[in-house]
Structure 1
């Protein structure tokens, strides 16, 4: 061990360190050096002759230390005020744990004991103890009684205690006058850095301009109060170091770094310690969580216009990772979405500029709730589009799934139930099946506007929905007044494939009988192969008049009906029910048959997707 110490010490004259911090207490220094050790593999910690504790990078050769200082400082990976350390001020090394070498301590002089000249207060000379081992041949089995070997006693002073290093007392705190003098010596970059750290801690909200006006002074006082210091509005040297050390520790833990994605044309500061690049999936660039951090980032980059932006705004709100609760805003050229739930929180922003839509999505789990608002602010303030290009649609692995499937690795939020309905007036009032709205915490129309139940008759299977805001439907229902003859052609407009197609489809068939299987007069039996999503949709005749509303397939006590047997509530019965409860169903004014394409267009325009959310 002595030889190893001599070897390191004799080389210390050629060693150099880059000092990046100093702390007033050993505990604070140990916390900071542990944080830095997660970023740099060559972190060292030393007690100093000033009573403070230095955190440094090294050892390096003098040339390498100078190069490291310039590179790391230029890349903002270490504080701007880092410098080449004066190792003559270093004393006991406390990091890495177990290290005992102090750089700069001179080699042993000729004629002196190295154990006393190198560390006189730490390593004591070894004590030589007498050998009490008895040879195996000295004692025959029956030769001596038990008292033949007296115990060997050693004095209590035989093993001296290792002396603790004696460190000087910390220097007293600066006076207000000294603090002002130290502050006056700061350059513009250092003053802006202090404002940035105060902003990071949540005490400063004004511009980062390096001017210490009333706002900066108030934020300094607030920080001093929170840190347990006297509220003077002027930070001492030690307080500035404490503030900046905390800021840098947070940056190191989050790995906040400027990331430039040339393919997407985006530059933004991201928490690189929490996320890592995964893949391109146009129009998204996905960064997945790192080491189970629970944080995810998705960059958005695509060509488009105001209509594309609005469509993206609606589409993103169908994602499970963007909760429904939270503030959101859509403008002419930008939008923001904040989402919060018990399992996930998110922030999303996008902006349209020069025919390019660029933005980001940041999601995190509840355990990150305390630190993520700072990350959100860092990403918001640093985000900018660069260049005149968006993500190439052919880059990476473009998603082949529909908008209702997986998008950029995020699962789309699905309603508990999706059924059809149709507009019955110009304000957007909708008629649907009662099944579609039972047990819902929220009801939406066409995946967007919310609606509430204005009327429901469970026995008849009818529900009437009123939108939260007045709508302008492209078409409304007109009810047929005369009965329809059996065998007449009919069609149902409905969202038969709601999970795949975001549009209604027409299913054609005929009226089999103007009553139910058991003679129910309010029902009509159809020869038509409808699907569950069609329930609640309008049944129309050849003129486009509504002759009924398709009902869900009824339970038949274990009997299975043919696939082309469906049932509808009679249109006349439905119109009467609506009128009796304060609604105004319009009578049909048409008489002749419409062309097939016109009938389809008219029927689909009055049909709406009704979604029931848990």
Structure 2
């Protein structure tokens, strides 16, 4: 930096600091020559380029000085116009930091080779830290920064705390490759887990470690093509991350569910890779739960159900009832009868009166009804539809201690429930059920 400052002073420009003023940080370079060349390149586009020292021998290139308010406004304007890198940010240098303006005379000195190579340094070279970090939040008070770290670790347990060279403190996540830092920054922004002003920073810009974090193990992974959206919605519903319709259409609920899944699973910032992992988990879960295809002859309904936990009990009028097998605590009731909205609501009333869904929360709309309830022992889910002139649906009763599997099985039944034949329940057949393995 000594030679770079000499060039500026040779051009007749004062190398003085601008206390408490802000600058827009654009980039940083390790060598004086690289910093001078970068400053010259930016000087072709802007007339207020400055450079200043960073920790560990790095040099920052920026624009300024401005008031903090002016810097923020100009930063956003230039980012919107794509005039500067999207990871540029506003910095307030410390009182001991000298901002060195760049000028045309300095460019001429650079082009004429006056920036001579540095003398060979015979001292043991300093090993510079490598990798990139996602800066989650920066604060001026160390006490506030420590409190912020404790809060951030609820979302990112691997986060650490750094003392920056400008008197500020930063909660950050890393290290990781620069590509991974940019990819995960976009992913965490999309999920709302980090603020919009979070940015990626190189390790050499991080200052000193106050509280060491852990390796967040955030890699890029391989990009995978996203399946059709109806399949995406199904697996997100199974995972409890999506509660909308399976319509194969992109919308805010679907986009938010995908972004949340990417952030929560943290296998890759790529949405396709995340959905592929969810599908792999669902396939393994289906095997573990013993799901198979149930074709119920009494109601004419076909669905995917945990038949290892259920045993056919009896058929009564519009109902086909499956009791717990081997003390599983699970039960399933299928219902189907000719009719419309009134018959559907009558069936919902019967379900409530029999206590199959205790203290239910109801959602009633034309052609569809949903009841959810629980007591100390069980969680229940009842859902019905009016389809092709019939009121049909199911009630799932599940042990209260296993809420996650209850929600997943209810989603599987909702997604798979179809009619395979006309209902035979009016005929009062003796044993209407058969279970088919996939």
In which range does the TM-score fall when normalised by the shorter chain? 0.3 to 0.5
**Bigger relative contact order, structure 1 or 2 (CA pairs below 8 A, ≥6 apart):** 2
- TM-score (normalised: structure 1): 0.30
More helix by share: 2
Greater Rg over alpha carbons, structure: 1
The TM-score, its normalising length taken from structure 2, stands at 0.41
